[in-house]
Structure 1
Amino acid sequence: MAQILNINRTGKFIDLFSGCGGLSLGLMQAGWEGIFAIEKTEAAFSTLSSNLLSQGRYSYAWPDWLPRKNMEVGELIANHVDDLRELRGTVDLIAGGPPCQGFSTAGKRDPNDPRNKLAEQYIKVVELVRPSYLILENVRGFNLSFKKDESKGQEQNFPYSLVVKKKLEEIGYGVSFKVVKSSDWGVPQHRPRFILIAKYGVSSNDFDPFSDIDLFREKFLRAKGLRVDRPVSAGEAIQDLETFGKKLIPNEDSQRNGFYELSYQPPQHLNGFLSLVRAGLENESPNSMRLARHSDAVRSKFSDILKNCPRGVTVSKSYKAEMVIKKQAITPLCKDLPSATVTTLPDDIIHYAEPRILTVRENARLQTFPDWFEFTGAYTTGGKQRKNTCPRYTQVGNAVPPLLAEAMGLLIEVEMRRAI
């Protein structure tokens, strides 16, 4: 891909708040060399490690001074200040997606949410390492103002993106940001994302890596074998994983018995998207294909939604009340349109043709993870464990779509080429 865009320089990056590795994978696919990644949850780091630390298709050049284990970014700063300073001049890019719950429009949007402060840890590492470029990915709410709540002492009525921008400018970075639609970049879901790109040693007024983004987007999609005139649909991404009339076999990559999965047979003719995600696998089946065990009542409710509700649109409040559905949001997919945003909650989305939730692999397809990328750990957790664990559905929902990350990585490489 880099050669197609006439880029011949390989940059080196660090990934903070890496999750299971979606952002890292995309950057590596764009030709970047990963140095290391920091992720606090054991389960997500296990997935990242098994895919990107095993000397397989891609691998980090992990430094000897850093343990190969899950840790918080605060722990990295506390224990390795000198090691981080010594990286100055050797790192081209720091990438990261600080946890976004405090900014999400799907949540409470609390300006005092402690998770908002994780962006400051990102900035602290930037101060120590001083890379040439930065990329920060987050939900679109990162660029929306908070509503004042005087009863809670909330005075901030401006986007947190401006706080981050000011702090980065104070340490010498020119900053530019944009909210992009993932579906514009070959991702088969709408998923609007906030993307910040910064460059050291320039003014924000003189830095705009997004200036030619429409032309770049067309080149990127054509190079990936994807259509330019319309987005990839949910059906194009997961139609080969439909189960009606097909053989099911016992699922063997779960910690629990009694689950089944599709006996996968790849289609004879792959569309452009499937050609990307199936590349290099031939007839191999992807992992994380476990089908949910829905009760008859749940299947009946899902069937009613598929029969009576518009596809690709969140079920209305009135219909939820009528059907006694307590979920905040549930969306039946439309086969011919991109999916709703994949979240960490498995039952936020219903399959377009079958009365069931999606499998982890189907969600991973909608997030553009290739089929060779294997997820590890429990599929789901509930109750009190949910806040402290990161099962497969959560790993996928929290990830940066690798295809979008690849595009942004190439966009930065184009900017680097201009500077040479």
Structure 2
Amino acid sequence: MERRIVDLRTSFKPETDDFRGISLCAGYGGLDLGLHIAEPRYRTVAFVERESHAAATLVARMEDKALGQAPIWDDLRTFDARAWRGRVHLVSAGYPCQPFSYAGRRNGESDPRHLWPDVARIVAEAEPEWVWCENVEGHMSMGFPDVAQSLRDLGYTTKAGLFTAREAGASHRRRRLFILAHADWTCPA
């Protein structure tokens, strides 16, 4: 499988030096920290996380300056991203894996934790240039084709791949699906 690094720094021209994003199903902020390490100008301007212990960790990471200050919403289903249109470059999402996980029942769309439709709605509202998602390996064979089609319908070119944690320097082999989508309407002719 071909591995290629995408340099996000060359594709945006923000009005400030910040590369701004909204983090959906933010968990403990791992995607946000990774984005900031990869691109020091990256700043999360809004989090959505319903689990109180994860939200408390986000607050602690803000207090110790690992993450910048940003509001935290607790309900993805009611979060309205229209106010962020034109103000963010990226929407990231680590939406629940239980609907697709080999370790679970794999109920897909019938699982009440299936939140991709809400993530897609937020992407449509915010219209970011980039969408960055992470999920379990099992999502590749269940649900991902619908995600890719949703993103295409919204005007994004989508690439996805399975990567191990070891490829990022961790000691374990856990495989994760990463999805990177770029808005077609922002590509130069």
Counterpart Cα distance in 2 of 1:23 and 1:100: 15
1:11 equivalent among 19, 28, 36: 19
Indicate if the aligned counterparts of 1:10 and 1:33 stay in contact, CA closer than 8 A: yes
SS at match of 1:114: coil
Written as runs of structure 1 = structure 2, the 5 A alignment for 1:140-289 is 140-144=137-141, 159-201=142-184
SS at match of 1:75: coil
Task: Give 2:97's aligned amino acid.
Answer: C
Counterpart Cα distance in 1 of 2:87 and 2:138: 33
Q: 1:41 aligns to what?
A: 51
> Which string of whole-angstrom CA distances, capped at 9 and with x for unpartnered residues, describes residues 294-315 of structure 1?
xxxxxxxxxxxxxxxxxxxxxx
Q: CA deviation at 1:108?
A: 1.6
Q: 2:3 aligns to what?
A: none
Q: 2:125 aligns to what?
A: 128
Q: CA deviation at 1:58?
A: 3.2
From the superposition, tell whether residues 17 and 57 of structure 1 become closer, same or farther in structure 2 (CA, over 3 Å): closer
Question: Which of the two has higher C-alpha Rg?
Answer: 1
1:104 equivalent among 101, 104, 107: 101
Counterpart Cα distance in 1 of 2:74 and 2:66: 24
Indicate if the aligned counterparts of 1:20 and 1:48 stay in contact, CA closer than 8 A: yes
Indicate if the aligned counterparts of 1:94 and 1:131 stay in contact, CA closer than 8 A: yes
Q: CA deviation at 1:10?
A: 4.2
Task: Give 1:41's aligned amino acid.
Answer: E
Q: CA deviation at 1:44?
A: 0.9
SS at match of 1:105: coil
From the superposition, tell whether residues 115 and 58 of structure 1 become closer, same or farther in structure 2 (CA, over 3 Å): closer
> How many residues align structurally?
174
Indicate if the aligned counterparts of 1:45 and 1:70 stay in contact, CA closer than 8 A: no
Q: CA deviation at 1:191?
A: 1.0
TM-score (norm 2): 0.83
From the superposition, tell whether residues 90 and 55 of structure 1 become closer, same or farther in structure 2 (CA, over 3 Å): farther
Q: CA deviation at 1:75?
A: 2.5
* 1:114 maps to 2:97: no
TM-score (norm 1): 0.39
From the superposition, tell whether residues 88 and 73 of structure 1 become closer, same or farther in structure 2 (CA, over 3 Å): same
> Which string of whole-angstrom CA distances, capped at 9 and with x for unpartnered residues, describes residues 242-287 of structure 1?
xxxxxxxxxxxxxxxxxxxxxxxxxxxxxxxxxxxxxxxxxxxxxx
Q: Say which structure is richer in strand.
A: 2
Q: Once the two structures are aligned, what percentage of the paired residues are identical?
A: 27
List gaps (5 residues or longer) in structure 2.
1-6, 11-16
Counterpart Cα distance in 2 of 1:88 and 1:19: 23
